[in-house]
Structure 1
């Protein structure tokens, strides 16, 4: 087995073209007995990577750092306590950083075996976006037949899968998108109605389309005013699930971040208690840290739904490692609908 490998190190904050450097570094060797070593076929990009690059991600390791939350590839070594995987398995896996490399390690519970024929870009989408969607819909909430469900970024990586899972539960899905084109995508995935956030007030449109009904469940990746207004429109027994803050704008600009933080509002538990409502925050890193068995459940469950044909994954795009900066920029500027992956 190789003793050294190439990895893309984050060496500075700012523009993607200057932030990364490909370096030789030792292949991971001193890992826990319940971990596996994966020869990486391709790794995925996530918006948290962009946030780390621009210097606003508190969980990011100190520089120089190897980012990366998800990889796909072949298991080439297993720890002595590993029972779920064998050498030669092709897997998709979540990593606690370290994914931007030719080899990566992860807990055996964070990996799921996939077939040789599975498309690697779509598998990487299942690992992070799919697992997040499954956790939001199936583990943190319960959706009932006829529930009115509002989804931000309904044509995005996570939102597109949430839309399908909610529809499969019998919900009436209202998808928020940023364009008519994205609205058509959301409709094709199961949204009954779509709301263009750039041409109309989201919550006024929801009130009109739902005939004044309140929101039974809202899944939000935008944060800020969407939280404040969404909670005001939440039905008794309603649930608000928050898993991002994409509406912050330029996270490097403190003059934008302060009002963004304030736009969430401040809340007492009393109204939630009186109306039997729930506000649920989702951070998959914390799930992985404290409930690794849930990570395996989420990835394996969404993979099973994909193989059964119950959900579709947006096409995404593959970049070469030499195009890492372009891939980061494409993610930051929302130029690709679906998962962005990078291959060695």
Structure 2
């Protein structure tokens, strides 16, 4: 079946509130030589999409202005240099943009087979968080079996993924979350201790639980006043990995304890990294994590699915912080 000339997509009509997300008609993109054209069945919603909509996170140069960093669907066309993929293959993919649409393109190296036994909608919310967690917790953070790990925002898409992967690879897991329901969700996913940040001091909790030592790795997406507290909560030779700054990226930090404890302070963003870097992460995921997904030892946590035309409602839910796990858009029934 020939691809259509145009498609429905969600565009950001102007920077602003969720209501600026509107359906529109756009040309169906053509894949480059190393790309795959995907007939999208579902797309994931992520915090960077919200920031882009607000005008606070421009897509990388040359990237479509259509938001959306992850999808699942079927291969509709392959570029001239692509091998290993056939039209009709089920696929999930990490994107730099364009997921809120009926069709999108992705570099072949950022495409992965849908894990065995997983549906399209579940698969659509896997790439962004699993690429991010693997890259930051296991590559940059070097988390090892038997070590202790703290993730902030335990019920976010990143948090629910990090809890499960850290536990699956043998770490002792701590997670912060807001309120009893969210803390309970963290422990159900495998956290050894969930910390209600409304009621408890995470530094005190992790120090008491580790005999005063602290944790070996922290994955932080909060920033702001959490940064000096994270330094306090880290064990000697600990690693701190920043991936976002919900409370701001500029804060005074006393580096004397960083030196005394020989800490590593690092961080990364995923979207702007070269496609070759992302392809390496994809290979690691395929070898180390995809078997866990097929066995359901780890799983994406899907909170709610909205029709594509209701992308604004999906963004409103994300901004409310009332969800646990991921939010998705259904593009095709």
Same fold (TM over 0.5): yes
Is the 1:124–1:339 contact (alpha carbons within 8 Å) kept by the matching residues of 2? no
Is the 1:10–1:63 contact (alpha carbons within 8 Å) kept by the matching residues of 2? no
Is the 2:10–2:100 contact (alpha carbons within 8 Å) kept by the matching residues of 1? yes
Q: Quote the Cα distance in structure 2 between the aligned partners of 1:286 and 1:199.
A: 37
Alignment-derived partner of residue 249 in structure 2: 261
Is the 1:131–1:298 contact (alpha carbons within 8 Å) kept by the matching residues of 2? no
Is the 1:214–1:234 contact (alpha carbons within 8 Å) kept by the matching residues of 2? yes
Q: Quote the Cα distance in structure 2 between the aligned partners of 1:281 and 1:329.
A: 28
Give deviations 1:183-236, integer Å, cap 9, x for gaps.
Answer: 111111221111100112221222233331222111112111222211133222
Correspondence 1:170 to 2:170: yes
Tell me the C-alpha RMSD between the 2 structures. 2.3
Gaps of 5+ in 2: none
Is the 2:134–2:281 contact (alpha carbons within 8 Å) kept by the matching residues of 1? no
Q: Secondary structure at the match of 1:230?
A: helix
Out of 254, 272, 276, the residue aligned to residue 286 of structure 1 is: 272
Q: Quote the Cα distance in structure 2 between the aligned partners of 1:323 and 1:342.
A: 8
1:53–1:132 Cα change, 3 Å: same
In the TM superposition, what is the alpha-carbon distance from 1:267 to its structure 2 partner? 6.6
Is the 2:70–2:93 contact (alpha carbons within 8 Å) kept by the matching residues of 1? yes
Alignment-derived partner of residue 230 in structure 1: 230
Give deviations 1:291-330, integer Å, cap 9, x for gaps.
Answer: 1322422542433321122213213211112211111101
Q: Quote the Cα distance in structure 2 between the aligned partners of 1:304 and 1:293.
A: 18
Alignment-derived partner of residue 121 in structure 1: 121
In the TM superposition, what are the counterparts of 1:325-344 in structure 2 within 5 Å?
Answer: 325-344=312-331
Q: Secondary structure at the match of 2:43?
A: strand
1:63–1:96 Cα change, 3 Å: closer
Q: Quote the Cα distance in structure 1 between the aligned partners of 2:148 and 2:107.
A: 37
Q: Secondary structure at the match of 2:249?
A: helix
> When the two structures are aligned, how many residues end up with a matched partner?
328
Is the 1:90–1:115 contact (alpha carbons within 8 Å) kept by the matching residues of 2? no
Q: Quote the Cα distance in structure 1 between the aligned partners of 2:183 and 2:34.
A: 44
Correspondence 1:307 to 2:307: no
1:286–1:14 Cα change, 3 Å: closer
Alignment-derived partner of residue 318 in structure 1: 305
Alignment-derived partner of residue 186 in structure 1: 186
Q: Quote the Cα distance in structure 1 between the aligned partners of 2:234 and 2:279.
A: 31
1:137–1:261 Cα change, 3 Å: closer
- The TM-score, its normalising length taken from structure 2, stands at 0.90
Is the 1:8–1:100 contact (alpha carbons within 8 Å) kept by the matching residues of 2? yes
1:166–1:243 Cα change, 3 Å: same
Q: Quote the Cα distance in structure 1 between the aligned partners of 2:192 and 2:116.
A: 35
Q: Quote the Cα distance in structure 2 between the aligned partners of 1:70 and 1:238.
A: 31
- The TM-score, its normalising length taken from structure 1, stands at 0.88
Q: Quote the Cα distance in structure 1 between the aligned partners of 2:279 and 2:82.
A: 14
Alignment-derived partner of residue 9 in structure 2: 7
Higher helix share: 1
